[in-house]
Amino acid sequence: MTRIGLSLPQLGGHVSRDVVRGFAERAEELGFGSLFVQQHLFYPLHPASGYSARPGLAVPEAYRSILQPMELLAAVAAWTSTITIGTSILVAGYHRPVDLAQRISTLDILAGGRTVFGFSVGWSDEEHAQYDVDPRTRGRRADELVDALLACWGSDPVSYEGEFFSIPESDVRPKPLQSPHPPLMSGMRSAAGLKRTAEKFDVWNPASGTLEQHLETFAQLGTMRPANRAPLSMCWNLFTHPPVEVANLRPLSVDELCTEVAAAAAAGVDAVSVDANFDPSILSEDDWLTVPDRLAPLLDAARR
């Protein structure tokens, strides 16, 4: 059956401890399969890079306030017991491998082995600059980051030598509870990113396209997949209201979301996740706490 996930309350001015906890506990109680967070750093007032690599496109207002992903997941790991938690997505250029490997291992242990971690290459020049990273190198850095993470989670002693990262011969512990590591999810769609996805990741996490487009690309990924790797799975991102209304992105009612979920289930898509962080109808903490119940019909749509 297609699993249905939700994005946690994370963006905007109506997110509090009680909102996050109440939302997570209710989502688990209702039977949702996953809870996801994303990553951004700040809201530059005069950005050089357009939102989502679209020149001239303004960054959505919701990003003026954003809880950070790993800390948010740590709290949710303590407040839940069965639901999968993860990132959709982390920006690869904002991380170094040993530190991130240990943070992921720690979260996987604290969550009892129910984590998944998504990565992409990001788009914000201003945010990359905060980490002294040239955004023109972000694809190569993403390749190395994944390779170095896998090295950290392998047998000790660990060592790695690359263009961007160097790890001296070391013991890197603890290892993740999941063996050999939590599933790695890719949010990439460029030609280079799809090649990276097929070769290095376990799950593909597309958004901003139709189901038919994603299924076509997913089939192409299958032909690119190395023979010694298990087949990729797919987790499709949908929005109650998209970050920006461009191309096919538009607000969807619960009935329309149910139609999309039913189509994904009929096509054999492994998972669908729905994000309400950009929904203008959420005007208070109480509004956030109604979201899991408002979207509960999606669970029935997946079963149909």
Q: How confident is the model at residue 113, as a pLDDT? A: 98
Calculate the CA dihedral of residues 28, 30, 33, 35 and round it to 10 degrees.
Answer: -50
The pLDDT value given to residue 10 = 98
Q: Per-domain residue ranges for the chain? A: 10-303
- Write out residues in the chain with pLDDT < 70, as ranges: 246-247
Which residues lie closer than 8 Å to 38 by C-beta, 6 or more apart?
A: 7, 10, 66, 69, 87, 88, 89
Number of helices (H) and strands (E), helices first, in the chain? 10, 10
Q: What is the DSSP letter of 48?
A: S
What is the predicted pLDDT for the residue at 48? Answer: 87
| SS3 (DSSP) at 86 | strand
Q: Distances from the Cα of 70 to the Cαs of 38, 40, 52, 131, 301, in angstroms?
A: 9, 12, 22, 17, 31
pTM here is 0.97
Q: What's the confidence (pLDDT) of residue 50?
A: 87
- Could you please state the CATH topology (level 3) that the domain comprising 10-303 is classified under: TIM Barrel (3.20.20)
Query: Across-strand partners of 234?
Result: 204
Query: 110 CB contacts (<8 Å, ≥6 apart)?
Result: 74, 77, 78
Cα torsion 52, 57, 62, 64 to 10°: value is 100
Q: pLDDT value at position 56?
A: 81
pLDDT, position 247? 66
The CA–CA distances, whole Å, from 26 to 29, 129, 141, 257, 291 equal: 5, 38, 38, 20, 9
